[in-house]
Amino acid sequence: MPVVATPLPITAVTRRSILLLSLACFCSMFAQRVCDPMLPELARVFSVDLSQAAQVVSLFALGYGVAQFVYGPLGDRLGKFRIVAWASLACCLCSVMAALAGSLPMLLFARMAMGIATAAIVPLTLAWIGDTVHGAQIQETIARVGVGTTLGAASGQLIGGVFTQSLGWRWSFGFLALLLGLVGLFLLWDWRRQKALAVPAVAPAVGGRRPSFFAQTWPIVSGPWSRTVLLVAFVEGAVGMGVLALWAAHLQDAMGLPVSTAGAIVALFGLGSLVYLVAARRLITRLGQHGLSVLGGSLMGVCALVVAYTPLWQLTGPASVVAGFGFAMFHNTMQANAAQMAPAARGTAVSLFASALFLGQSMGASLASSLFETVGSRSVVALGGAVMVVLGWVMGWALRRRHRLLLDG
């Protein structure tokens, strides 16, 4: 009878590093979502339409996605933790630039630069976890780090809305710069502590040479399962994140809610994600990855329909909570599969996943904002929800099929 190895417990030192990385992920998602509730105000301040103001979201996502082609191989070569530390400090400077922007083009430049700097944080954190944590504990550990990303997204939407209405939109970026500066310094300190332990972060390649970027990337993009994960990630980014960026604008436009209230309602999305992350261990065991995908996509899609068409704004709060719960189920499953696509080049694999996700978000946010004026915000939000339902079922079918093939093999 085969003996099943018990996963080694995560050490206290590693837990501390994971906590710091989770704080960096918090700041990363804060930066990503902080502009969502301020789009109508930016359109007013800079005298542009909503689609032009929404470029602060789409250009951030574009920079984030394109930068992945650099950060993945860079993390595999120089060390993932170190890159995350320096990227956090770089994003701090970009936040200061955004706070001081005197025109929309300057703000757009700062947001794209912020997306490029932030791009290293979450993907290389996931890759570092994949390198450090036992395979059986990867999805659960990623779910725990997801607490940071979830709270960051919710805080960005909430604080972005509150500051925009009270102190002004610039204060949101100033607050973010302070957080990133502190977290970046702590990460740098922890990396130097790791370096002092003389534990090599990156294993040398055979023969003393590291593989080229093409040699690392081609096995990933050419594999049928990797292509499936990357394609689903692109669509998820477009409809699950790109359209989500305009939920607050929809609540202001269709229901006449003030910016702070709309931002607070969308921030409840993060509360739902947090509920999932608390219950992740039981749900992963009970539902499996295919069940998480189907149920998660369905919940988010149905709740998007509620947000789009309900005549009572009071129902949009609970709908945002349940939508966040469903999205976290789906997205956590996608992250776990991305972290295990290519163990030999994990940084490159996760960065390609993030690139697909955020290039999809950039395209989705641009397309959705342009459709706001033609088909209306209700139709845009509803269409995004319908596609999420289909995507959840498609990914669930693909996961079940892959599981059967692995058993047969």
The SS3 of residue 210 is coil
pLDDT of residue 6: 44
Flag whether 346 is in a domain.
Answer: yes
Q: What is the DSSP letter of 4?
A: P
pLDDT of residue 390: 93
Flag whether 232 is in a domain.
Answer: yes
In whole angstroms, give the CA distance from residue 373 to residue 366: 12
More confident residue, 243 or 176: 176
Output the six-digit token pair for 281: 């261990």
- Report whether pLDDT(200) > 50: no
Mean pLDDT of 13-24: 82
In whole angstroms, give the CA distance from residue 357 to residue 360: 5
Burial 164-195 (b: 16+ CB within 10 A, else e): bbeeebebbbbbbbebbbebbebbbebbeebe
Flag whether 207 is in a domain.
Answer: no
In whole angstroms, give the CA distance from residue 28 to residue 122: 7
Flag whether 202 is in a domain.
Answer: no
More confident residue, 234 or 207: 234
More confident residue, 207 or 34: 34
Mean pLDDT of 5-12: 56
More confident residue, 279 or 396: 396
pLDDT of residue 361: 78
pLDDT tens figures, 270-315: 788 778 877 877 888 888 888 999 999 999 989 989 988 888 888 8
Average pLDDT value for the chain: 80
Global pTM reads: 0.68
**Range of lowest pLDDT (15-19, 189-193, 228-232):** 15-19
The SS3 of residue 31 is helix
Burial (CB count <10 Å: 0-12, 13-18, 19+), residue 21: buried
pLDDT of residue 265: 84
pLDDT tens figures, 96-149: 999 998 888 999 999 999 999 998 898 888 778 777 766 556 666 777 776 777
Q: Which of 3-7, 31-35, 51-55, 94-98 reaches the highest mean pLDDT?
A: 94-98
The SS3 of residue 373 is coil
- Report whether pLDDT(204) > 50: no
Flag whether 111 is in a domain.
Answer: yes
**Range of lowest pLDDT (185-194, 197-206, 251-260):** 197-206
- Number of domains comprising the chain: 1
Is the distance from CB of 24 to CB of 88 less than 8 angstroms? yes
- Report whether pLDDT(401) > 70: yes
Please report which confidence band the pLDDT of residue 177 belongs to, taking 50, 70 and 90 as the band edges: very high
Flag whether 2 is in a domain.
Answer: no
Please report which confidence band the pLDDT of residue 215 belongs to, taking 50, 70 and 90 as the band edges: low
pLDDT of residue 339: 72
Q: Domain holding 234: CATH number?
A: 1.20.1250.20
pLDDT tens figures, 320-372: 899 989 988 898 888 878 877 766 666 677 778 877 887 787 788 778 777 87
- Report whether pLDDT(180) > 90: yes
Q: Which domain holds residue 39?
A: 12-195+215-408
Q: What is the DSSP letter of 313?
A: G
